[in-house]
Amino acid sequence: MNFDTVVLGAGIVGVCVALHLQRRGRQVALVDRKLPGNETSFGNAGLIQREGVYPYAFPRGLGTLLQYARNQSPDVRYHADAMLKAAPFLWQYWRNSHPAKHAAIAKSYSPLIERCVSEHRALAADAGVSALMRPTGWIKVFRTAAARDAEIGLAERWQREYGVAFEALDTASLRRAEPDLTDTLCGGLHYPQSDSVSDPNALVTAYANYFAALGGRFFIGEADSLREGWEVDTQAGTITAASAVVALGPWSARASARLGYRLPLGVKRGYHMHYAPHAAARLNHPILDVEGGFVLAPMARGIRLTTGTEIARLDAPRTPTQLAAVEPVARTLFPLGERLDAEPWMGARPCTADMMPIIGPAKNHRGLWFSFGHAHHGLTLGPITGRLIAEMMTGEATVVDPRPFRVERF
């Protein structure tokens, strides 16, 4: 039960950290209360977002903010009893979303994003699950010309600044790419450099199995038992390790706070439901309905409808009103059949106030490392994050500059 490193959290980020360390000759224990990939990494749109060089910002327009305040928007909802506690985080998030600050953040963030697809493809090939990766890109669709033109303007900027490829689709081109979408759309925007995943849970499970095949070990245990030493209690007994990595997603703030770190980590909750396609209808790409505020993604289980953001306490009861609101709109976009899940799935995204993950050593504890706060890009950045932190921990030259992601920035 003695290891070089114990990694807390078996989502996509934690699994990739453990895997990259094990590949470098470390003896690694991976600990979670559930099997790998069964919390936040279980429910998402399955996108590996090469185009996501600008992390998702907080809206700053007065009209948009007033719309969100009414708590009826399809893409953002909130629990009133959570807003007081969330206010400091949201205030800093809003400040960092100023265009000048957002552009500076993108310069630091883009080196991770630029490597997300290549790192995933390499890891999927080594794990023997390349078939789960779909190199078809994904598509935004528009119901109004104003939304279309605004999004194409952003895509043109991303192309100039970071080489993000895109294809503007007129109605005929969109019809050829997705013949079963409604014919009332006024166009689309295709990002061909991005990949998508047909089963995110299966992908994380495969990475975890590859980790085990290399000699890594997985344990069911509670992260709250972590104590300096580094020791963690599991169902198989107490693990002792020379170093520990906190990669607990939305639960990372609680774990780090127990060790004296007060970090501005917020939570964005989200929901999904699977549907059978009606009759012979087929969806070829993940589709974001920009005005509708939801994604439809073809998955192994069926068509997955994912919602936007819900601001709520991490442990608050589920309130899938957002899903109920967008489902009728989704049915006008694509012919969805019956629901395939007994109830909506819910998960939570861990978000920092400056939209960038925390990756690196903890400043006050020798042997303690942080790897969390990836927000909407956890699945996207899992493999490159795992590589980066493994390189730092083993003293290798790093693939990207890790300084922008250090915890000391807070």
The per-residue pLDDT for range 359-396, each reduced to its tens digit, is 999 999 999 999 999 999 999 999 999 999 999 999 99
pLDDT at position 264:
87
76-78 and 309-311: which strand pairing? Answer: parallel
Burial class (CB in 10 A: 0-12, 13-18, 19+), 44: buried
C-alpha closest to that of 328 among 46, 74, 52:
74
| pTM across the whole model | 0.96
User: What integer is the mean pLDDT of 94-102?
Assistant: 96
Confidence at 10, pLDDT banded by 50, 70, 90? very high
The CATH number covering residue 388 comes to 3.50.50.60
Tell me the three state secondary structure of residue 180. Answer: coil
In a domain? residue 244: yes
pLDDT at position 205:
98
| Helix H or strand E encompassing 272 | strand 265-277
Burial 17-32 (b: 16+ CB within 10 A, else e): bbbbbbbbebebbbbb
Residue 369: asked if its preceding bond is cis (omega within 30°), the reply is: no
d(CA 302, CA 338): 10
pLDDT in tens, 184-201: 999 999 999 999 999 999
d(CA 57, CA 104): 13
Residue 300 has pLDDT above 90, yes or no: yes
| Tokens (6 digits) for 325 | 């609101």
Query: E strands along 290-372, which residues?
Result: 294-298, 303-306, 309-311, 336-339, 345-352, 358-361, 368-372
Q: Which residue has the tokens 């699977």?
A: 274
pLDDT at position 131:
98
In a domain? residue 295: no
pLDDT in tens, 397-410: 999 999 999 999 99
d(CA 43, CA 340): 15
pLDDT at position 170:
97
| Tokens (6 digits) for 190 | 């295709």
d(CA 312, CA 329): 24
In a domain? residue 157: no
pLDDT at position 224:
87
C-alpha closest to that of 41 among 244, 217, 256, 199:
199
- Contact by Cβ (8 Å): 55, 106: yes
User: What integer is the mean pLDDT of 305-329?
Assistant: 95
Tell me the three state secondary structure of residue 298. Answer: strand
In a domain? residue 23: yes
pLDDT in tens, 211-227: 999 999 999 999 889 99
pLDDT at position 61:
87
Confidence at 102, pLDDT banded by 50, 70, 90? very high
d(CA 136, CA 301): 19
In a domain? residue 383: yes
Confidence at 49, pLDDT banded by 50, 70, 90? very high
**What residues pair up with 233 in beta bridges, in sequence order?**
238
Q: How many structural domains are present in the chain? A: 1
| Residue 153, φ and ψ in degrees, nearest 5 | -60, -40
pLDDT in tens, 243-264: 999 999 999 999 999 999 999 8
- Contact by Cβ (8 Å): 389, 20: yes
User: What integer is the mean pLDDT of 7-27?
Assistant: 98
pLDDT in tens, 146-177: 999 999 999 999 999 999 999 999 999 999 99
pLDDT in tens, 328-349: 999 999 999 999 999 999 999 9
Residue 101 has pLDDT above 90, yes or no: yes
C-alpha closest to that of 349 among 370, 317, 373, 316:
373
Q: How many CB atoms lie within 10 A of CB 408?
A: 10
| Helix H or strand E encompassing 138 | strand 138-141
Return all residues near 299 (Cβ < 8 A) that are at least 6 apart: 46, 198, 199, 274
pLDDT at position 269:
96
DSSP 8-state secondary structure symbol assigned to residue 97: T
Residue ranges making up the domain that contains 370 = 2-44+201-264+354-409
In a domain? residue 100: no
Q: What is the largest CA-CA distance in the chain?
A: 63
- Contact by Cβ (8 Å): 241, 5: yes
In a domain? residue 34: yes
- Pick 65 or 130 by higher pLDDT: 130
Return all residues near 395 (Cβ < 8 A) that are at least 6 apart: none
Confidence at 277, pLDDT banded by 50, 70, 90? very high
| Tokens (6 digits) for 106 | 């993108």
In a domain? residue 331: no
